[in-house]
Amino acid sequence: MFPKYEDVITPLLFEIAKRGGRTAPTDRDGLGRSVYDALAVHFSLSQEERERRTSDGEQRSFWEKMVRWARQKLYDDGFLVPPVRGVWQLTGSWNAYLSEMPGLQSQGGDELVVFEGRLCERLHRFRERSARVTKRKKQWVLKSLGRLDCEVCRFSFQDRYGPLGSNFAECHHRIPLSELRTGQPTTLSDLAVVCANCHRMIHRVRPWLTIDELRGRIQRT
Ligand SMILES: [Zn+2]
Ligand SMILES: [Zn+2]
């Protein structure tokens, strides 16, 4: 059975990273599989599915079209540089990061799971640091509440530090790691305003605590 379109994105990124961050989709991996073949094996596609043509009479198979759609998503999200002569290539910063990931060299079955976990963490931080959306979030909260208090402990940088702390807070991306996907835009409600201490505590344990869970852990003194 064909996977959902967006489920192809991370495994495709994995296949590109495994090939050193630069590959043509027809290049072979250590098992002699092209990117299309390796992903077809990953999703257990039948031979018939693998060869199925698109209904609009294109030369490409439906499967190739799906993988190309995922490639476009990776490009839109800033993982890939624009393709040159059919070569798909990671951007410098993602290549440096992904090439250091353990598990990419081996061919074991758990490697994709490890990869997805690490990638999700990275995406989480990446989205929290996305300056444009966190700025909009803080502006929106300030405008509607008049303050930027930590949603866990109510700490206010402005109250504690005066003008130095005005308009300062961190943002935590609340979508759980397991549900975080490439290709999914960050909305203002995905972000929670938190102080630096609470943010560190949220990320101290796995799975990460929710805002409510951390609030429940605060000791009454
Ligand atoms: Zn706090
Ligand atoms: Zn966070």
Say which ligand is closest to the CA of 180. Answer: 2
Residue 194: nearest ligand to its CA? 1
CA 124 – ligand 2 centroid, Å: 7
Range of the structural domain that residue 74 is part of:
5-118
Are 149 and 183 in the same domain? Answer: yes
Q: Are 137 and 158 in a shared domain?
A: yes
More confident of the two residues 7 and 216:
216
Rounded Cα–Cα distance for residues 12 and 36 (Å): 9
Q: Which residues of 127-158 are buried (b: 16+ CB within 10 A; e: fewer)?
A: bbebeebbeebbeebeeeeeebbbbbeebbbb
Query: Coil, strand or helix: which one is 31?
Result: coil
Distance 220 CA to ligand 1 centre (A): 14
Give the largest CA-CA distance in the chain: 71
Boundary residue ending a domain (83, 118, 153)? 118
What CA–CA distance (Å, rounded) separates 190 from 195?
16
Which ligand is closest to the CA of 129, given by its number?
A: 2
Mark whether 98 and 142 lie in a shared domain. Answer: no
**Residue 156: band (very low, low, confident or very high) from pLDDT cuts 50, 70, 90:** very high
Residue 185 has pLDDT above 80, yes or no: no
**Cα 126 from chain centre:** 8
Identity of the amino acid at 117: G
Going from the Cα of 156 to the center of ligand 1, the distance in angstroms, rounded, reads 8
Q: How many A from CA of 48 to the centre of ligand 2?
A: 44
CA–centroid distance, 173 to ligand 2, in Å, is 5
Q: Rg of the Cα trace of the chain?
A: 21
Query: Is the same domain home to 9 and 103?
Result: yes
> How many angstroms is it from 117 CA to the middle of ligand 1?
26
Task: Point out which residues pair with 83 in neighbouring strands.
Answer: none
- C-alpha 208, offset from chain centre: 16
Ligand 2: centre distance to CA 171 (Å):
7
In this structure, are 114 and 133 located in the same domain? no
The DSSP bridge pattern shows strands 87-90 and 80-84 to be antiparallel
- Of all ligands present, the nearest one to the C-alpha of 193 is 1
Could you give the C-alpha distances from 59 to 53, 56, 149, in angstroms and in order? 8, 9, 57
Cis peptide leading into residue 163 (ω within 30°):
no
* Helical pair 35-42 and 9-18, crossing angle rounded to 10 deg: 130
Euclidean distance between CA atoms 45 and 135, whole angstroms: 44
Q: Which tens digits make up the pLDDT trace of 35-66?
A: 999 999 999 999 999 998 887 766 789 999 99
pTM (global) more than 0.85: no
Residue 159 has pLDDT above 60, yes or no: yes
Helices (H), the chain: 9-18, 35-42, 47-51, 62-76, 92-99, 111-128, 131-145, 157-161, 196-202, 211-217
Residues 136 and 183 in one domain: yes
159 and 183 housed in the same domain: yes
- Kindly report, residue by residue over 92-106, the tens digit of the pLDDT: 888 888 777 766 665
Do 113 and 69 sit in the same domain of this protein? yes
Q: What is the pLDDT of residues 105-154, one digit of tens each?
A: 655 567 777 777 778 788 787 777 777 888 999 999 999 999 999 999 99
Judged by its nearest atom, the ligand closest to the C-alpha of residue 153 is 1
Segment among 28-32, 96-100, 107-111, 201-205 with least mean pLDDT = 107-111
**With b meaning 16 or more CB within 10 Å and e meaning fewer, what string describes 80-94?**
bbeeeeeebbbeeeb
Report pLDDT for 84: 82
Q: What is the pLDDT of residue 131?
A: 76
Q: What is the pLDDT of residue 178?
A: 65
Count of domains in the chain?
2
